[in-house]
Amino acid sequence: MTEAGQRGRARTKRGQSRILRGRAITQGIGLGAAGRVEALPLPEITTRISRYDVAQEKQRFEEAVARAQRQIEKIRRRLVRLPESGRDDVSGLLTVYDRMLGPSRLTRQVRSKISDEGLTAEAAVAEVSAELAQSIVATANISLPSTDEQDAAAASMRLAGEFEEIGRRLVRNLTGVSYRAFSSLPEGAVLVAEQLRPADIAMIDPARVAAVVTEGNGGADHTAILLRALDIPAIVAVPGLMAQVAEGDMLVVDAHLGTITVNPNATEMRLAREAASKEARERRAFGRIRRLPAELKSGEAIELLANLELAAELPMLMRNGARGIGLLRSEFLFSDEDDLPDEDGQAEVYRAVLDGMAGQPVTIRVFDWGGEKGQDYLRYAGQPQPAVGDNPALGLRGIRLLLKAPEVLETQFAAILKAVSAGDGQYGPVRVLLPMVTSVDEVVAAREIYERVGRNLRRQGVDLPEVLPPLGVMVETPAAALIADALVQHAEFLALGTNDLTMYTLAVNRADAAVADRYSPLHPAVLRLIATTAESALRAHRPLSVCGEMAADPKIVALLIGLGVRSFSMKSASLPRVKRLIRTISFEECDQLRREVMLMTEADAVQDVVRRFAT
């Protein structure tokens, strides 16, 4: 046990229950012994001048770098079981680490200190990473008056933290002091940690963990989103957690109430077990409604679809009653490939998905690279990595990037159309979706390519349907929402991406703890953009779906139904819960909720009303 763990035990009196409170992330009840996961402290570097020659010391450094690169690659491989939104942030962070470990200021200066000053590799790493972080912090004036300047300062602070993080990783590799080990948690334990980063979540095996509680983290950052994806009870932001919970303490984590009972008495334990059993029965009940239609009690049909990133997830979609794929994130189908497959290679992958859906509809989003999403894959489009410090969310991504590399888009369009052709009418409806659209000319340009590819394939003898699969647009920026009436003149359907729409509308980075509490998809500004988009789609008789996090919250779905949305795509695990509520409410109730909410001007007030709905 670590020193911190011993301190925690010293402050916890056995047999005395106490209740801690935090912010619930994933609803549910978990019981188990506390498993504290803590990083061992870094060793003090007592030897500054190396006793080896320069070549040997440089070799030690290169081996530490290579090991760090393997560790990062291992984390990246484990991202496949996480949702795209979470992968994006983790992947972006790992890309920053990769660049720092490559030909960067950090590695150049470390090598110089080893050569010029005769330092040990660990001393050189510690000094250089600290110096770089300090120099960045010195230029970040967080008291600047304008929002843009404050954003830039906050970004600088994050960059400084990333230099420190990669420095700590290298020092650990050089000194043999390991990182925290999630694999050592006993099966059924409640994971207790001071703070979890998105990359940590990728290392947690949800089959071995009963619940997760942390002292830090926020309710809206990407760590929270990843915890939701694990679908295990989770509570974050618990004050004094590490001081009040010792290794092995029995914990009851009630993520409905946001409470953690430490060392519950017999009565508390009995009640918790009964509640957990009831919850398990409800989950089984979800299974029974799987085949029932998703329709309001007033009779209106609602389309419930699932998001898909890997073909391996298809059986889970079917088990949870998905009526199709509302968002196939195609970039992740090839995330393990060193090179992007050619037209036929991609077509084969799409055919496998269409085969697996057995006639159900599938919407394929073309590659959404760039920004925080898959910067590693910019090389496929012949684009350089953004410089450290750039804001990739405002740079080349989505359709902007694909139009810069039209040959990539042409190949993907051709692969999708070939896959559809191979079905010989046996596949369900297929639609093609364009990401990160902000202007009409982007849709026009993409459609010209799409139709040209179709004509070329027909000339080659490919038997395509008379009318190509519908081409639609992701509405995930305020610009797209505000010109939705123009976009629907060139797009055959719209899909609201509410995660990015919220981020861009509120200018809030969910991963930034300083502003995370200001991230709210129920902010009136976001809701008004959704209403504007829904009205435009309705007037033009264009289908509209929602495929962001909002679609996975049953009560928010009720509000969105009131706003005019009839199709929702979400992680498949959320489908039963959403369907259950849909079958108990009427359209009139959803419309009444809409009318009440759209008069409000504060996100907190909207949230209160939505949470009270149908209780």
pLDDT at 567 over 70: yes
- Token representation of residue 282: 């409800």
Q: What is the per-residue pLDDT across 168-209, written as a single tens digit (0 to 9) for each?
A: 889 988 988 766 667 678 889 999 998 887 667 767 777 788
* Predicted confidence band of residue 141 (pLDDT cuts 50, 70, 90): low
Q: Which of 356, 380, 262, 342 is nearest to 306 (CA)?
A: 356
The 10 Å Cβ neighbour count of residue 435 is 28
Positive/negative CA dihedral, 281, 282, 283, 287: positive
- Token representation of residue 101: 């470990």
Q: What is the per-residue pLDDT across 322-362, written as a single tens digit (0 to 9) for each?
A: 899 999 988 877 755 557 788 998 999 899 899 888 889 99
- Provide the pLDDT for residue 85: 52
The mean pLDDT value for 515-541 works out to 93
- Decide if 367 contacts 413 (C-beta within 8 A): no
Please give the angle made by the CA atoms of 314, 320 and 323, to the nearest 5 degrees.
75
- Provide the pLDDT for residue 512: 64
Percentage of residues in the chain with pLDDT exceeding 90?
Answer: 47
Using CB atoms within 10 A of its CB, is residue 315 exposed (0-12), middle (13-18) or buried (19+)? exposed
Main-chain phi, psi angles of 81, to 5 degrees: -95, 5
Q: What is the pTM of this model?
A: 0.61
Q: Which of 30, 14, 562 is nearest to 298 (CA)?
A: 562
- DSSP element (H, E) containing 131: helix 121-139
The mean pLDDT value for 259-267 works out to 94
- Provide the pLDDT for residue 9: 45
pLDDT at 576 over 90: no
Return d(Cα 91, Cα 94) in angstroms, integer. Answer: 5
- Decide if 587 contacts 296 (C-beta within 8 A): yes
Tokens 């409410």 locate to 585
- Decide if 322 contacts 572 (C-beta within 8 A): yes
Q: What is the per-residue pLDDT across 356-383, written as a single tens digit (0 to 9) for each?
A: 888 899 999 999 876 655 555 666 667 6
Tokens 């918790």 locate to 272
In the chain, the amino acid numbered 562 is G
Main-chain phi, psi angles of 59, to 5 degrees: -65, -40
pLDDT at 1 over 90: no
* Predicted confidence band of residue 384 (pLDDT cuts 50, 70, 90): low
Q: Which of 52, 66, 45 is nearest to 122 (CA)?
A: 45
Highest mean pLDDT among 123-137, 237-251, 269-283, 439-453: 439-453
- Provide the pLDDT for residue 201: 74
pLDDT at 80 over 70: no
- DSSP element (H, E) containing 486: helix 484-487
Lowest mean pLDDT among 142-151, 154-163, 500-509: 142-151
- Token representation of residue 436: 């990160």
> Strand runs (DSSP E) across 281-347, as ranges?
303-308, 325-329
Pairing of the two strands 493-496 and 471-475 = parallel
DSSP 583: T
Please give the angle made by the CA atoms of 394, 398 and 403, to the nearest 5 degrees.
110
- Provide the pLDDT for residue 99: 82
Q: What does the chain come to in residues?
A: 615
The 10 Å Cβ neighbour count of residue 598 is 15
* Predicted confidence band of residue 88 (pLDDT cuts 50, 70, 90): low
